[in-house]
Structure 1
Amino acid sequence: MLLRFSRAVARVDKSVRRSRGFTLIELLVVIAIIAILIALLLPAVQQAREAARRSSCKNNLKQLGLALQNYQETHSVFPPGGVIGPCAGNPPVNLSGIQDCAGGQSLGGNWLLYVLPQMEQTGLWDIAAPILSARDPLDYMNNKFGHFTPVAFRCPSHPVDRRKDVGFRALENMSRGNYAANYGSGDLLDSYTSQNGGIFTINSSIRMTDIKDGSSNTVLVSEVQYRDSVRTDSRGAWVYSGMGGSAFSTGRNPNSVIPDILDSCSNSTELPCSTAIDGTQIAAARSFHVGGVQVCFADGSGRFISENISAEIWKALGTRIGGEVIGEF
């Protein structure tokens, strides 16, 4: 009796041990389920990361807006979009290669350089300030700043820039950034007219009281894209005051498929462009956010603007004294 009982217990124990294992099919099913869960989670993780990057980008724009407002309170005007000497013409329309012109200052500092103190970048300002009155300030800027861009001047949503040869033009190496000033609703020449002009242009000195359309209806700054490792493309060059560098126009809708017209560029499917040096230069606001770009208005408020916004409303948001009646957007 005892022997039979022991044998029965042994059989039960073996059966229990066998039931604790997984078959190959069960293991494959578990692996497949885990793979499906990971595939479902990855987009959510990526969306969460992009939401964080987009929020950081919006905060950068608001900080730039605050810096520009502080500059305006201190100096009674917004900084110029860029400073260019008389050898570039009046109004200066050819921003390509003017460092070689004879006599006087040529291409100088831009609005991003002038707000460095308000952005708590006094170290960079101490480097930049003595250079701004030099013969060819932009050439000196290239040598001093090299490939350095303040973190606050770059949108985290932009793909990682490995900082390898991101200059433009044959002899220059300009670091890239993602924020640009509003030059109005037309091309470079139009930016000098009150009807189409924005808050910035070359040698501008716009006061808050000059924004007749209202500070909450006039874009101050937005975003631009650039291409890594393309020497011939000026887009995103943050110390450069030309269209596409640190300036944009609402004459093109955000992320427009219509090519930009720039002093210097390299055409591509992602960033279409053509070149001109006759004042017809124009560049759209562009970003890596899905569906549009972020902007900061002259009152300091931030907002995401759809790339499908009405072209007329977007143009109206670019002018400071256009007198347009702006509806919902």
Structure 2
Amino acid sequence: MQTNRPETKTGCRGLTVVELLVAITIMSILIALLLPAMQQAREAARRASCANHLKQLGLGMHLYSKSHGCFPPGYTAELSQDQYAKSWAWGAFLLPYLEKRPLYDTINLEKQSLTESVVDPNMIRFYQTELSIFLCPSDSGSSLSHSYRQLLVPQYLTQTKPEPENDLNNHASSELMWVYLTPSVSRGFSGISVIAHARPPIPFPVPKPKPKPKPFPFPFPDSDPDPTDDTEPEPTPDPPPVTTMPTKIGKSNYVGSLGSIWKPKQSDWSDEDFKGNGVLGRNTRVSWHHITDGTSNTFVLGERSWKNYAAVWPGVNSVNDCGFIDNQMVLGTAFYPLNQRSVSVNIDCDGTGSANFSSHHPGGANFLFADGSVHFLSDKIDFRNSDSSHQSGLFQRLAHRSDGEITGEF
């Protein structure tokens, strides 16, 4: 006997709208919890890599010191020359001790100055060499220098020509005019450099004027064709000055320590000020016995981020200036707070954030000390410069090589 059973539907039941929303919410919460942890882990790895770069630079410093008996100068200067002469900096001097001997031999800094070297159009590409040891992985800026840290080279090396439609003959009073537009600074490009070409210089030599016609031919070319003509010969003009144009060069996220000194006005700077009270300065030869505060209590290098215009490794534009294209290109000072945001750049020495130490690491920056160790200093570190207090802060004491003050824990 057969019995008829009702057919039953089989299959998977789908999610209801409420269940789907709950699942999405749970996934969102998990992502929100895990993403910051992943970002922190990545930043920790980048910070560790940055510290490793500083340790390698520290090893190069020690090898240089062993070979020369002192730390390299922050940059060199022949003070008898034009103050706008370009000069090699500590980064270039360290190249043979950083396994960059071929590059060091190519730029040949032992036989020619940076001023002499930049006139060679074949050399520009070497100054634009990206050297990873000078770059912090946390800094996402370009591997070439910021617009405010460019090297001024002869205009013919840039392979650019004046554009007639952009000619500013009625407004330009010099061979070169710089116009800077500075929008809000971000982690990327933070400045627009507009170069306005002035009237092209007179070509040299100037063609001689056609001789005046004479009424009678004179048979002796070497004789005076007209003894009665007392007109002064037109003097041959001096060659016009070489027009310069800014060119980006290799970036560095690390600057030498000038110490805790700084003067906001160019007129206030003396020769001793340019030497600084840190380990690296103009024409300095600081050796171990000069660091009386102790090598473990004095830092040599610190970070400079792209948002504060970073730095460069080859050299400086001027050996006797303190502007943003001069000693600020390779040196930093503890006169300004750590990680202070740069708010302006001008033609004087008020560096604000462009002359300080800074980084893209949250909460502070890495520093190389004279003993070769690397420490992460908090941007909340005790800060009191000489203008705000009679007693310097911990940050200033760590930058000064011989102030005799106790640093304490940091």
Flag whether TM exceeds 0.5 (same fold). Answer: yes
Give the corresponding residue for 1:119: 98
Q: Unmatched 5+ residue regions in structure 2?
A: 153-244, 264-268, 317-325, 384-392
Shift of 1:3: 3.2
What amino acid maps onto 1:275 in structure 2? N
Change (3 A) 1:190 1:212: farther
Q: Hey, what's the Cα distance between the residues in 1 that align with 2:102 and 2:114?
A: 22
Shift of 1:50: 0.6
SS in 1 for 2:140: coil
Residues 197-249 of structure 1 deviation map (CA, whole Å, 9 limit, x = unaligned): 1111011111111111110011110001235xxxxx96412323444322101
Query: Is contact 1:85–1:107 with CA below 8 Å preserved after alignment?
Result: no
What amino acid maps onto 2:135 in structure 1? R
Shift of 1:297: 0.5
Counterpart selection for 2:302 from 222, 229, 240: 222
Change (3 A) 1:139 1:79: same
RMSD: 2.9
Q: Hey, what's the Cα distance between the residues in 2 that align with 1:156 and 1:247?
A: 20
User: What TM-score does the superposition give when structure 1 sets the normalisation length?
Assistant: 0.78
What amino acid maps onto 2:247 in structure 1? E
Query: Is contact 1:184–1:191 with CA below 8 Å preserved after alignment?
Result: no
Q: Hey, what's the Cα distance between the residues in 2 that align with 1:146 and 1:116?
A: 12
Give the corresponding residue for 1:251: 335
Change (3 A) 1:30 1:109: same
Point out the structure with the larger helix share: 1
Q: Does 1:300 align with 2:372?
A: yes
Residues 79-111 of structure 1 deviation map (CA, whole Å, 9 limit, x = unaligned): 11001222457xxxx6xxx1xxxxxxx322110
Aligned residues: 289
Give the corresponding residue for 1:260: none
Residues 14-50 of structure 1 deviation map (CA, whole Å, 9 limit, x = unaligned): 2x5254x323332333233223222222111111111
What amino acid maps onto 2:272 in structure 1? Y
Query: Is contact 1:222–1:285 with CA below 8 Å preserved after alignment?
Result: yes
Query: Is contact 2:367–2:377 with CA below 8 Å preserved after alignment?
Result: yes
Counterpart selection for 1:42 from 28, 35, 42: 35
What amino acid maps onto 2:286 in structure 1? I
What amino acid maps onto 1:70 in structure 2? L
Q: Hey, what's the Cα distance between the residues in 2 that align with 1:56 and 1:139?
A: 33
What amino acid maps onto 2:343 in structure 1? P
What amino acid maps onto 1:110 in structure 2? A
SS in 2 for 1:273: coil
Shift of 1:193: 5.7
Query: Is contact 2:145–2:310 with CA below 8 Å preserved after alignment?
Result: no
Q: Once the two structures are aligned, what percentage of the paired residues are identical?
A: 31
Correspondences of 1:284-299 after superposition (within 5 Å): 284-299=356-371
Q: Hey, what's the Cα distance between the residues in 2 that align with 1:138 and 1:2?
A: 106
Give the corresponding residue for 1:275: 346
Query: Is contact 1:108–1:137 with CA below 8 Å preserved after alignment?
Result: no
Counterpart selection for 1:314 from 395, 404, 408: 395
Correspondences of 1:26-175 after superposition (within 5 Å): 26-87=19-80, 98=84, 106-130=85-109, 133-134=112-113, 136-137=115-116, 139=118, 143-161=124-142, 166=147, 168=150, 170-175=245-250
Q: Hey, what's the Cα distance between the residues in 1 that align with 2:335 and 2:17?
A: 63
Query: Is contact 1:195–1:321 with CA below 8 Å preserved after alignment?
Result: no
Query: Is contact 1:187–1:249 with CA below 8 Å preserved after alignment?
Result: yes
Q: Hey, what's the Cα distance between the residues in 1 that align with 2:309 and 2:110?
A: 21
SS in 2 for 1:3: coil
SS in 1 for 2:311: coil
SS in 1 for 2:375: strand
Q: Hey, what's the Cα distance between the residues in 2 that align with 1:148 and 1:318?
A: 30
Q: Whose Rg is larger? A: 2
Shift of 1:149: 2.4
SS in 2 for 1:85: coil
Change (3 A) 1:224 1:243: farther
Shift of 1:140: 5.4
